[in-house]
Amino acid sequence: MKTIIEPFRIKSVEPLRKTTREEREKLLQKAGYNLFELRAADILIDLLTDSGTSAMSTNQWAAMMRGDESYAGSESFFRLKTAAEDLTGFKHIIPAHQGRAAERILFTVMCKAGDIVPSNTHFDTTRANIEFTGARAVDLPLPEAEDTQARIPFKGNMDVAALERLIAAEGASKIPLVMVTITNNSGGGQPVSMANLKEVRDVTAKHKIPLYLDACRFAENSYFIWQQEPGFHRLTPKQIAQAIFSYADGCTFSAKKDAFANIRGTFV
């Protein structure tokens, strides 16, 4: 038996209230089985989200003391801008307090009633922000993704043939953007291949439709590409991430996931 320990120490702990099964059943019934109606103090194991569930590093906590709260021209913003530009290649960076706030900005600007936004699978907040504008969110996952027992390397891929059919049926003018979520969170956190991203990009470029990423777990997706997709093992995960972003016209990003921050979102 080989034991692998975590290469870090956790410096703070937060107490949890232990509940019984009977208490949890009553709480769920009282909330109408709506998890957003539950109080966090009543949750023992939180599986509602992967946002903000990681402890921050000592360097991250120290960086908070270096935060520049200047009203304009903040050095903290320029550090963020430099890091985001280096990773994504995008020049316009808009910080937001969460990823869903970045989505709200994007879809309010890009969408109108009657529009259609295809994705491999929209996350719930993404769908809500799209439909708030009167547009329609359409999921185009691989057919194999419906089989929870099927094991394929990149089960989060978009169905490119279905995307082509949708554009042909509805017209490119009704599709203000295509969004690919990496990894495909609402599809079980499954990764998307570089080859699939390129195919989606080829389709959107042909029809002059912008391609955006929901880059919620771009680093994890990059690692899966490094691990499983031929031709990428010689690159670093960062280089793979930079290649991923090169196919996109922009992205929204929740820093509460792969960036391990307590709170933050970005729209680029």
Considering the domain boundaries, does residue 200 fall inside one? yes
Considering the domain boundaries, does residue 76 fall inside one? yes
Q: Which of 204, 208, 220 is nearest to 254 (CA)?
A: 220
d(C-alpha 162, C-alpha 134), whole Å: 22
Considering the domain boundaries, does residue 43 fall inside one? no
pLDDT tens figures, 62-114:
888 888 888 888 888 888 888 889 889 898 888 887 778 888 888 999 999 99
Using the structure block, give the residue that is written with the tokens 């939180």: 46
CB atoms within 10 A of CB 98: 18
Number of compact structural domains in the chain: 1
pLDDT tens figures, 202-235:
999 999 999 999 988 888 899 999 999 998 999 9
Considering the domain boundaries, does residue 196 fall inside one? yes
Considering the domain boundaries, does residue 15 fall inside one? no
d(C-alpha 41, C-alpha 253), whole Å: 28
pLDDT tens figures, 20-34:
999 999 999 999 999
pLDDT tens figures, 189-202:
889 999 999 999 99
d(C-alpha 131, C-alpha 129), whole Å: 6
* 3 state SS of 91: coil
Give the DSSP H or E segment for 198.
helix 194-206
Report the CATH number at residue 249.
Answer: 3.40.640.10
Is the separation of the CB atoms in 200 and 158 below 8 Å?
yes
User: In which domain, by residue range, is 252 found?
Assistant: 58-267
- Give pTM, 2 decimals: 0.81
Is the separation of the CB atoms in 266 and 253 below 8 Å?
yes
